[in-house]
């Protein structure tokens, strides 16, 4: 049991000296058979220990308001708070409300005991907290606590957090300069809200939840008299920090985009103290050979200057992330496009409509009309969803197989409304899309209220590649692929944690096989021919309105990869970047996917001692793209559209279509912005 003499070991400076760095290790070995360490995790590198006088009262009050409102009344352990938490847990049938005080949380962080949450350990922490408040002042406890908190995005300690989320880009701080000294209430509330879960309330990954949490903290501050009504009302109008305003500390890593993503998973599971000072050795799922292939595939195709790209590759059978490219340069653009870049998906979303239709009994040979359509807008009387083909380019009728190969918006808009946008949204979620997929009619063609990320699309497509089963790893957050294989202590060889997989059946295997066959047609003779690798490949292209985003998501027998191309700073038309032509899903994205998969095949063959086949890119005179422009609902009288009576059982190669339309450029919006309605896309 704890004694008062243990308190000396809780001082922040002593913890600074005894911390052991954790390491991230790649899954593949170097030529000598040794492990490849590609990142070291240390909180000391960016943490600055502050004095009480160097911290704004607003951040202190915000944290007290939301974490421990009886902080100045209890003696380290809040027995009344524990009683309330216990009552709430019993009434709701599970652990819902915590009873720990700020003092107890500080003791837990300082002891780096996140991995041992036994009853004995909790009792020891409570005893230490009780004795601590007899030796330290309340202000010292609060200050030391603020120096030990992890706020997400690499920010360890309150000074690092303020510089990360609210500091000036590129600013060089003087040794005695303290950003935490001056903070507005809305800034303090955002940081205080992050403490409970830095990933769940991350303003980049989850802007809606982050804003709700910030506003809750502000409400508590108002209720407890820390701010005035005027300050509260003003604070509610303040925007969250944008992606370009967040200055993420550069990690000690050769693969910073991947390592920052995995680090957050580790913190969520083990706590910041263990991750940054507990000497963990983490074997990740990253294959550095595949990672290099992904980077080279992007660099080899995209012009400079020009658009950027992101690529995520996932093992079909294990759900493990094998490669992740989140941007061109972490030092210049630390925003992770792969994990946080919410962009409009274009026609890659049609895969979810396809699977839902097949689940409901629609057959690949079923025929639909391909013509201008005026479809009833669900839930809006006297309003319709109008879909038109560019320059009247209609095929008259098309089977589901042909419509999929050609990415026919006319067919998929009608089909999506028929099977139900709510069903499509739920299926996308069950397959691995964490972002809420909106249920507006335009979603059938990729016009979402909030965009999706390359990571979650790759994960969802891997569910299809795995025969309709989503692979969930124990060491990954729910609805997320895993980046961690094993975790062990630096001292000794015993593994503390080993990833355990669970296969979750999302839809029948026969449906998966039908969908796979149809998506193979996209690569063989549809809009994705540039992705062909000389062996089995299936996938879908996607192009958004005005060529603002371009995608190719596809899979082989072993690997799923999703490629996005666009401008990170916002939606910017890519009208001439592809050799003077627009960038559609069947151009750069499909070619990058091809190059990456060809390199992976070569790596695999070298490992098996085989000669690499080096598949050649299949040249085509023009990349087929979808010639339709859906229009948002207008008040008109519904016009019935009857399906063409003539069956078309066999898909035919698509003719060379006219170029996609070029609508009026849409205003640029930051990739991390709070979700808002966007127009539907042109598709491809």
The partner residues of 373 in beta bridges, in order of sequence, read 387
Cβ neighbours of residue 213 under 8 Å, at least 6 residues apart? 193, 194, 196, 201
CB atoms within 10 A of CB 371: 18
Helix (H), strand (E), coil (C) string for 16-59: HHHCECEEEEEEEECCCCCEEEEEEECCCCCCCCCCHHHCCHHH
Residue 82 confidence (pLDDT)? 52
Listed residue (424, 466, 477) closest to 198, CA to CA? 477
Cβ neighbours of residue 607 under 8 Å, at least 6 residues apart? none
Omega of the bond leading into 305 within 30 degrees of 0 (cis): yes
Residue 649 confidence (pLDDT)? 30
- Three-state DSSP state, 592: helix
The partner residues of 252 in beta bridges, in order of sequence, read 40
Residue 429 pLDDT grade (very low, low, confident, very high; cuts 50, 70, 90): very high
- Cα–Cα distance, 608 to 262 (Å, whole number): 30
- Express as a percent the part of the chain with pLDDT over 90: 54
Q: What is the mean pLDDT of residues 88-104?
A: 57
- In a 13 Å sphere around the CA of 274, the CA atoms on its Cβ side amount to 22
**Locate tokens 């879908």: which residue?**
540
Between strands 484-489 and 469-473, the pairing is unpaired
Distance of CA 79 to the CA centre of its chain: 39
pTM of the model: 0.80
- Cα–Cα distance, 393 to 406 (Å, whole number): 12
Please check whether residue 441 is in contact with residue 385, taking contact to mean a CB–CB distance below 8 angstroms. yes
- Cα–Cα distance, 451 to 444 (Å, whole number): 13
Residue 499 confidence (pLDDT)? 83
- Cα–Cα distance, 615 to 597 (Å, whole number): 9
Cβ neighbours of residue 396 under 8 Å, at least 6 residues apart? 369, 370, 371, 644
What tokens does 38 get? 């590609």
pLDDT of 682 > 70? The answer is no
Please check whether residue 593 is in contact with residue 539, taking contact to mean a CB–CB distance below 8 angstroms. yes
- Cα–Cα distance, 238 to 245 (Å, whole number): 14
Residue 102 pLDDT grade (very low, low, confident, very high; cuts 50, 70, 90): confident
- Cα–Cα distance, 515 to 400 (Å, whole number): 10
| Of 592 and 155, more confident | 592
Please check whether residue 144 is in contact with residue 12, taking contact to mean a CB–CB distance below 8 angstroms. yes
Residue 104 confidence (pLDDT)? 83
What rounded mean pLDDT belongs to the chain?
82
pLDDT of 331 > 80? The answer is yes
Cβ neighbours of residue 307 under 8 Å, at least 6 residues apart? 565, 566, 567, 572, 574, 577, 583, 588
What tokens does 227 get? 């701010």
Kindly report, residue by residue over 438-492, the tens digit of the pLDDT: 999 999 999 999 999 999 999 999 999 999 999 999 889 889 999 999 998 755 5
- Three-state DSSP state, 156: strand
| Exposed/middle/buried for residue 151 (C-beta within 10 Å: 0-12, 13-18, 19+) | buried
| Of 552 and 147, more confident | 552
Please check whether residue 39 is in contact with residue 324, taking contact to mean a CB–CB distance below 8 angstroms. no
**Looking at 73-77, 279-283, 368-372, 413-417, which range is the least confident one?**
73-77
Cβ neighbours of residue 250 under 8 Å, at least 6 residues apart? 154, 256, 330, 331, 334
Cβ neighbours of residue 569 under 8 Å, at least 6 residues apart? 244, 668, 670
Long-range pairs for 213-217: beta carbons < 8 A, 24 or more residues apart: 214/186, 214/189, 214/190, 214/240, 215/189, 216/66, 217/62, 217/65, 217/66, 217/189, 217/190, 217/192, 217/193
Got the DSSP string for 540-555? EEEE-GGG-EEEEEEE
Cβ neighbours of residue 212 under 8 Å, at least 6 residues apart? none
Please check whether residue 295 is in contact with residue 325, taking contact to mean a CB–CB distance below 8 angstroms. yes
**Looking at 230-239, 427-436, 669-678, which range is the least confident one?**
669-678
pLDDT of 9 > 60? The answer is no
Please check whether residue 368 is in contact with residue 415, taking contact to mean a CB–CB distance below 8 angstroms. yes
The pair phi, psi for residue 52, each rounded to 5°, is -55, -40
- Start-to-end CA distance of the chain, whole Å, equals 66
Kindly report, residue by residue over 354-393, the tens digit of the pLDDT: 999 999 999 999 999 998 899 988 888 888 898 875 456 6
Q: E strands along 72-132, which residues?
A: none
- Cα–Cα distance, 246 to 305 (Å, whole number): 24
Residue 619 confidence (pLDDT)? 41
Kindly report, residue by residue over 616-666, the tens digit of the pLDDT: 444 433 344 443 334 334 333 333 333 333 232 333 333 333 333 333 333
List the domains of the chain with CATH numbers: 43-263 (1.10.3810.10), 288-634 (3.40.710.10)
Got the DSSP string for 383-398? -EEEEEEGGG---EEE
Residue 48 pLDDT grade (very low, low, confident, very high; cuts 50, 70, 90): confident
The partner residues of 538 in beta bridges, in order of sequence, read 555
**Looking at 21-35, 224-238, 324-338, which range is the least confident one?**
21-35
Residue 555 pLDDT grade (very low, low, confident, very high; cuts 50, 70, 90): very high
CB atoms within 10 A of CB 534: 15
- Three-state DSSP state, 309: strand
pLDDT of 83 > 60? The answer is no
The pair phi, psi for residue 258, each rounded to 5°, is -70, -45
């Amino acid at each position: 049991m704890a004694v008062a003499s243990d308190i000396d070991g809780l001082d922040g400076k002593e913890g600074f000296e005894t911390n052991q760095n954790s390491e991230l290790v790649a899954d593949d070995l170097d030529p000598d058979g040794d492990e490849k360490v590609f990142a070291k995790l240390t909180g000391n590198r960016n943490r600055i220990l502050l004095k009480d006088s160097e911290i704004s009262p607003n951040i202190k009050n915000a944290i007290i308001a939301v974490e421990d409102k009886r902080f100045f009344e209890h003696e380290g352990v809040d027995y009344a708070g524990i009683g309330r938490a216990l009552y709430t847990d019993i009434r709701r049938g599970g652990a819902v409300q915590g009873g720990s005080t700020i003092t107890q949380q500080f003791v837990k962080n300082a002891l780096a005991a996140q991995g041992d949450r036994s009853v004995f350990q909790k009792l020891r922490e409570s005893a230490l907290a009780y004795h601590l408040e007899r030796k330290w002042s309340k202000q010292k406890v609060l200050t030391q606590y603020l120096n030990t908190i992890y706020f997400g995005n690499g920010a360890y300690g309150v000074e690092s957090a303020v510089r990360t989320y609210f500091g000036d880009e590129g600013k060089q701080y003087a040794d005695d300069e303290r950003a935490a000294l001056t903070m507005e209430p809305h800034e303090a509330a955002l940081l205080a809200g992050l403490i409970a879960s830095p990933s769940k309330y991350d303003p980049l990954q989850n802007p809606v939840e982050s804003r709700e949490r910030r506003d809750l903290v502000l409400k508590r501050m108002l209720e407890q008299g820390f701010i005035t009504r005027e300050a509260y009302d003003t604070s509610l109008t303040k925007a969250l920090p944008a992606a370009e305003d967040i200055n993420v500390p550069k990690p000690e890593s050769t693969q910073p985009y991947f390592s920052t993503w995995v680090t957050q998973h580790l913190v969520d599971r083990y706590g910041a103290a263990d991750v940054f000072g507990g000497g963990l050795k983490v074997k990740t799922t990253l294959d550095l050979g595949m990672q290099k292939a992904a980077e080279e595939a992007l660099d080899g195709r995209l012009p400079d200057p020009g658009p950027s790209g992101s690529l995520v590759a996932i093992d079909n059978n294990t759900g493990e992330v094998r490669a992740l490219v989140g941007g061109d340069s972490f030092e210049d653009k630390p925003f992770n496009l792969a994990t946080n870049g919410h962009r409009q998906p274009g026609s890659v979303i049609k895969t979810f409509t396809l699977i839902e239709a097949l689940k409901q009994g629609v057959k690949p040979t079923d025929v639909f009309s391909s013509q201008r359509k005026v479809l009833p807008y669900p839930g809006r009387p006297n309003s319709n969803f109008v879909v038109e083909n560019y320059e009247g380019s209609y095929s008259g009728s098309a089977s589901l197989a042909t419509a999929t190969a050609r990415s026919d918006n006319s067919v998929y808009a009608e089909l999506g409304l028929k099977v139900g946008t709510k069903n499509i949204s739920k299926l996308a979620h069950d397959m691995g899309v964490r972002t809420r997929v909106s249920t507006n009619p335009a979603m059938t063609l990729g016009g979402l209220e909030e965009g999706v990320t390359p990571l979650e699309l790759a994960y969802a497509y891997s569910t299809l590649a795995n025969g309709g089963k989503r692979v969930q790893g124990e060491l990954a957050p729910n609805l997320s692929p895993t980046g961690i294989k094993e975790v062990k202590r630096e001292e000794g060889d015993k593994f503390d944690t080993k990833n355990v997989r669970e296969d979750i059946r999302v839809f029948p295997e026969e449906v998966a096989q039908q969908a796979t066959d149809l998506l193979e047609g996209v690569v063989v003779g549809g809009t994705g021919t540039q992705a062909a690798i000389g062996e089995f490949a299936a996938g879908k292209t996607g192009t958004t309105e005005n060529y603002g985003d371009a995608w190719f998501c596809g899979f082989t027998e072993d690997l799923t990869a999703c490629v996005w191309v666009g401008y990170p700073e916002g939606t910017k038309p890519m009208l001439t970047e592809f050799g003077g032509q627009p960038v559609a899903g069947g151009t750069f994205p499909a070619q990058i996917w091809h190059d990456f998969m060809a390199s992976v095949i070569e790596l695999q063959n070298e490992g098996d001692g085989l000669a690499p086949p080096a598949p050649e890119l299949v040249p085509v005179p023009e990349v087929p793209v979808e010639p339709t422009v859906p229009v948002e609902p207008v008040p008109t009288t519904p016009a019935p559209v009857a399906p063409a009576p003539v069956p078309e059982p066999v898909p035919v190669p698509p003719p060379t279509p006219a170029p996609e339309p070029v609508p009026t450029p849409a205003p640029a919006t930051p990739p991390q912005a709070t979700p808002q309605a966007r127009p539907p896309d042109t598709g491809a």
